[in-house]
């Protein structure tokens, strides 16, 4: 005599699904959504709320001040100087990283052997921490001492050692900051360009070869136009990441206690405003909201000019 399994009720069937898909979806996605809600969305909303209050040494709103914090930040010369630092940093890092990552993608795409090896080698720095890379750049490569790596190389050519991170010397610290950031992120954008290059039809290059075109003409009239969507996305990501620069500036230049002119980007300024000696969370939150709006406006403006997502003909 066989005993049949108990029938599942409608609630159990709806929860478990045919292969427990609904249940396991909740198990795997639930903690992620909860963490995103607790550590990202709630702090963002609370930061916006704090920007309208006077909050010193506390994250609890005490006195409503309206738009006063925003007006103070806009009038603050130090905050405007930090925005100028971002513009200067973007002028350095965006075109250099764009050209380097595109050049690496073109070289690897044309490689006939060890393509996977070179792709992995150039992408590997992306997994490195910005803090660790900044310390390596500061303590070993651009240490400023005579036996540092860069000063040793310069010594081979009879050039005197350079104090790379000195605030009184010429602004050599820009070379340190830009090279560290470029080394860390060029591999990621190289992968994006590689994906775009692999979408280009080989028949276009075959037709160009039949017509006798090659080299610069192929790059200008075939490769770059076909990479327009990828290039637009890369430029947008580079610009947003430049807005978010913090680790390299803080870890490379904070030891002296004073930042050179135009060497303190917005996030570093807001860090000292909100978490420094005064702990002014109201003004710090207002500055963060202003910075977020600027990033959104720049992204929308770049999208308008370059046409991100525009349909290709």
Q: How many beta carbons lie within 10 A of that of residue 30, not counting itself?
A: 10
pLDDT at residue 189 in the model? 94
pLDDT < 50 stretches in the chain: 1-2, 15, 313
Per the CB < 8 A criterion, the answer to whether 179 and 115 are in contact is no
Which pLDDT belongs to residue 262? 67
The pLDDT, as a whole number, for residue 97 is: 94
Range of the structural domain that residue 141 is part of = 68-306
Looking at residue 256, what is its pLDDT?
53
Kindly state whether residue 165 falls inside one of the protein's structural domains: yes
Residue 39 maps to a domain? no
Has residue 214 been placed in a domain? Answer: yes
Q: Output the pLDDT for position 313.
A: 46
Provide φ and ψ at 159, rounded to 5°: -95, 135
- Position 28 scores a pLDDT of 85
- CA-closest candidate to residue 91, choices 235, 199, 217, 198: 235
Residue 125, token pair as written in the block: 């720095």
94-135 per-position pLDDT tens digit: 999 999 999 999 999 888 888 888 888 999 999 888 889 988
Residue 244, pLDDT score: 83
9 in a domain, yes or no? Answer: no
With respect to residue 115, please indicate whether it lies within any of the assigned structural domains: yes
The per-residue pLDDT for range 50-88, each reduced to its tens digit, is 889 888 887 777 788 888 999 999 998 888 888 888 888
The tally of domains found in the chain comes to 1
- Cβ contact 265:80 at 8 Å: no
Q: What pLDDT is stored for residue 95 in this prediction? A: 92
pTM above 0.75, yes or no: yes
- Supply the pLDDT for residue 87: 86
262 lies in some domain: yes
pLDDT of residue 4: 52
Q: Is residue 291 part of a domain?
A: yes
Q: What is the pLDDT of residue 210?
A: 81
Which one, of 132, 139, 131, lies nearest residue 165 by Cα? 139
Pairing of strands 63-64, 53-54: antiparallel
Residue 61 lies in a domain: no
Domain of 259: which CATH number?
Answer: 1.10.3720.10
The upper half-sphere exposure of residue 246, i.e. CA atoms within 13 Å in the direction of its Cβ, equals: 10
């Amino acid at each position: 005599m066989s005993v049949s399994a108990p029938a599942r009720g409608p609630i159990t069937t709806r929860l478990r699904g045919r292969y427990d898909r609904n249940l396991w979806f909740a198990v795997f996605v639930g903690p992620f959504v909860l963490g995103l809600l607790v550590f990202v969305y709630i702090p963002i909303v609370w930061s916006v709320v704090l920007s309208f209050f006077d909050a010193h040494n506390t994250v609890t709103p005490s006195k409503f001040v309206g738009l006063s914090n925003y007006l103070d930040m806009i009038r603050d010369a130090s905050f405007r100087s930090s925005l100028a630092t971002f513009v200067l940093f973007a002028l350095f890092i965006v075109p250099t990283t764009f050209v380097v990552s595109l050049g690496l993608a073109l070289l690897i795409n044309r490689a006939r052997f060890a393509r996977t090896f070179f792709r992995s080698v150039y992408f590997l720095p992306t997994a490195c921490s910005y803090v660790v890379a900044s310390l390596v750049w500061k303590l070993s490569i651009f240490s400023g001492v005579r036996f540092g790596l860069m000063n040793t190389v310069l010594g081979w050519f009879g050039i005197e050692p350079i104090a790379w991170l000195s605030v009184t010397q010429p602004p050599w610290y820009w070379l340190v900051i830009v090279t560290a950031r470029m080394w860390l992120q060029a591999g990621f954008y190289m992968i994006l360009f590689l994906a775009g290059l692999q979408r280009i039809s080989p028949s276009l290059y075959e037709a160009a070869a039949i017509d006798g075109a090659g080299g610069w003409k192929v790059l200008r009239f075939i490769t770059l136009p076909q990479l327009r969507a990828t290039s637009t996305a890369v430029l947008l990501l580079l610009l947003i990441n430049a807005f978010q620069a913090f680790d390299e500036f803080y870890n490379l230049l904070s030891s002296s206690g004073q930042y050179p002119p135009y060497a303190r980007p917005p996030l570093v300024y807001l860090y000292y405003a909100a978490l420094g000696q005064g702990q002014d969370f109201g003004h710090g939150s207002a500055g963060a909201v202003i910075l977020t709006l600027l990033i959104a406006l720049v992204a929308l403006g770049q999208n308008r000019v370059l046409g991100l997502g525009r349909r290709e003909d």
